[in-house]
């Protein structure tokens, strides 16, 4: 729907999934009540009943107070009227510093809004569980999702709401990575949990996020595929943008996160056709071949079979050279960065095969 940014003469009342002048800080009026003649008449809320927000923003947090401070500041200073949205922070690792940040912002926004809730999640249950806790606690008819390491643009909510006409069930915005080289997933992923919106009724219809995705990986894609399965109407709102500023990455970060690959198996089991169309057209045969060559070389060494060991080592070295060229293509940097790329190319294939096998066994599926 397209909405005027000018102040109207009188504040219009909300109908389900409709929006008043969203740039005003005036609180929205109560939903209309239909009289005997069938006309909509403005009905005041019952005494003592607070008006409900239109959007509930769920922030997945990990106890990082400095990131939470930055994220809340951006959310509080939205161009959308403060009475039209609330902020729900679900912290997987709650601590005193994060609580202090939230308490300080609550004190500042107590009178003018938006309302801010701080819920304790569990670091062992994962982002999907945190999102479910958040949206089920929300009072809005539209649920927005983001992470504590993002900085929503000032018009993030306004632009998302502008794209949410009566024919849209869910949408995803743009994620800017501040010029950082991102993995292929970050550039091709559509419905990302760091910037997406969905009607609460639609989330309830599909059961929310699948909490079997215990790591922050593929849970958002699974929701996108399930929305498609019920023919939910999904759109892209590029003007509803958030930024994920770069954070220092530890050496070998991709190796440390290889366990996420296990959840590719769950996504493939649930949505084999969509997985092949959107995620990966075929298994990583190059990884399987590289890992098999390395295993052959190790078996040859263990058995004292020099010919077998040399054959396996030669095949592994050849496959490694191909992977290194692929990883280093278009890159430049220090010797440490180049060394990291080579080490990652050498170790990631066997790690990936291991975690794919673990996922295949756990979720009873083959060759994701």
pLDDT by residue, tens only, the chain of 368 residues: 444 333 333 333 333 344 434 444 443 333 333 333 333 333 444 544 568 899 999 999 999 999 999 999 999 999 999 999 999 999 999 999 999 999 999 999 999 989 999 999 876 788 999 999 999 999 999 999 999 999 999 999 999 999 998 899 999 999 998 755 444 344 446 899 999 999 999 999 999 999 999 999 999 999 999 999 999 999 999 999 999 988 777 778 889 999 999 999 999 999 999 999 999 999 999 999 999 999 999 999 999 999 999 999 999 999 999 998 888 887 766 787 788 888 999 999 999 999 999 999 999 998 77
Answer yes or no: do 345 and 221 share one domain: no
**For 323, how many CA atoms within 13 A lie in the half-sphere containing its CB?**
25
Note whether residue 164 is domain-resident. yes
Note whether residue 286 is domain-resident. yes
Question: In terms of Cα–Cα distance, which of 320, 318, 296, 316 is closest to 307?
Answer: 296
pLDDT at 225: 98
Answer yes or no: do 68 and 157 share one domain: yes
Answer yes or no: do 63 and 104 share one domain: yes
| Count of the separate structural domains present in the chain | 2
Answer yes or no: do 225 and 336 share one domain: no
Report helix angle 285-303 to 306-328, nearest 10: 150
The boundaries of the domain holding residue 353 are 279-363
pLDDT at 341: 84
| Whole-angstrom Cα Rg for the chain | 25
Q: What pTM, to 2 d.p., does this model score?
A: 0.82
pLDDT at 179: 54
Q: Is there a contact between 206 and 226 (Cβ–Cβ < 8 Å)?
A: yes
Task: Kindly report whether the peptide bond that precedes residue 114 is cis, defined as omega within 30 degrees of 0.
Answer: yes
pLDDT at 20: 39
Can you tell me the distance from the alpha carbon of 52 to that of 19, in angstroms, rounded to the nearest whole number? 13
pLDDT at 215: 93
Q: Count the residues in the chain.
A: 368
Q: Is there a contact between 163 and 235 (Cβ–Cβ < 8 Å)?
A: yes
Note whether residue 12 is domain-resident. no
Q: Please report, for the domain that includes residue 182, its CATH number.
A: 3.90.550.10
Q: 289 burial class (0-12, 13-18, 19+ CB within 10 angstroms)? A: middle
pLDDT at 253: 85
Can you tell me the distance from the alpha carbon of 194 to that of 228, in angstroms, rounded to the nearest whole number? 19
pLDDT at 332: 67
The Cα-based distances of 288 to 251, 308, 339 in angstroms read 24, 18, 23
Secondary structure tally for the chain: helices H, strands E:
13, 10
Q: Is there a contact between 57 and 157 (Cβ–Cβ < 8 Å)?
A: yes
Task: Give phi and psi for 84, each to the nearest 5.
Answer: -95, -5
């Amino acid at each position: 729907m397209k909405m005027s940014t000018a102040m109207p003469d009188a504040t219009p009342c909300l109908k389900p999934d409709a929006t008043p002048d969203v740039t005003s800080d005036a609180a929205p009026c109560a939903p209309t009540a239909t009289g005997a003649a069938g006309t909509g008449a403005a009905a005041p809320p019952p005494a003592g009943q607070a008006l409900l927000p239109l959007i509930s923003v769920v922030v997945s947090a990990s106890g990082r107070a400095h990131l939470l401070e930055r994220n809340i500041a951006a959310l509080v200073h939205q161009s959308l009227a403060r009475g039209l949205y609330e902020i729900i922070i679900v912290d997987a690792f709650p601590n005193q510093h994060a609580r202090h940040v939230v308490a300080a912002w609550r004190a500042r926004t107590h009178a003018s809004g938006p309302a801010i809730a701080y819920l304790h999640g569990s670091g062992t249950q994962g982002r999907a569980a945190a999102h479910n806790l958040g949206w089920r606690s929300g009072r809005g008819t539209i649920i927005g999702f983001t992470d504590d390491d993002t900085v929503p643009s000032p018009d993030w909510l306004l632009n998302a709401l502008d794209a949410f006409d009566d024919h849209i069930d869910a949408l995803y915005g743009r994620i800017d990575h501040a010029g950082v080289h991102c993995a292929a997933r970050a550039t091709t992923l559509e419905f990302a949990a760091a910037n997406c919106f969905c009607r609460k009724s639609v989330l309830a219809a599909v059961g929310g996020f699948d909490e079997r995705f215990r790591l922050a990986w593929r849970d958002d894609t699974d929701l996108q595929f399930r929305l498609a399965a019920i023919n939910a109407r999904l759109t892209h709102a590029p003007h509803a943008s958030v930024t994920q500023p770069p954070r220092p990455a530890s050496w070998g970060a991709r190796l440390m996160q290889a366990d996420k690959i296990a959840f590719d198996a769950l996504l493939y089991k649930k949505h084999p056709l969509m997985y092949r169309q959107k995620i990966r057209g075929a298994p990583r045969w190059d990884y399987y071949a590289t890992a098999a060559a390395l295993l052959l070389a190790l078996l040859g060494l263990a058995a004292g079979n020099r010919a077998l060991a040399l054959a396996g080592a030669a095949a592994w070295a050849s496959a490694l050279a191909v992977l290194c060229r692929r990883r280093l293509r278009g890159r430049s940097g220090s010797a440490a960065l180049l060394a990291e790329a080579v080490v990652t190319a050498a170790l990631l294939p066997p790690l990936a095969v291991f975690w794919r096998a673990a996922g295949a066994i756990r979720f009873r599926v083959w060759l994701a």
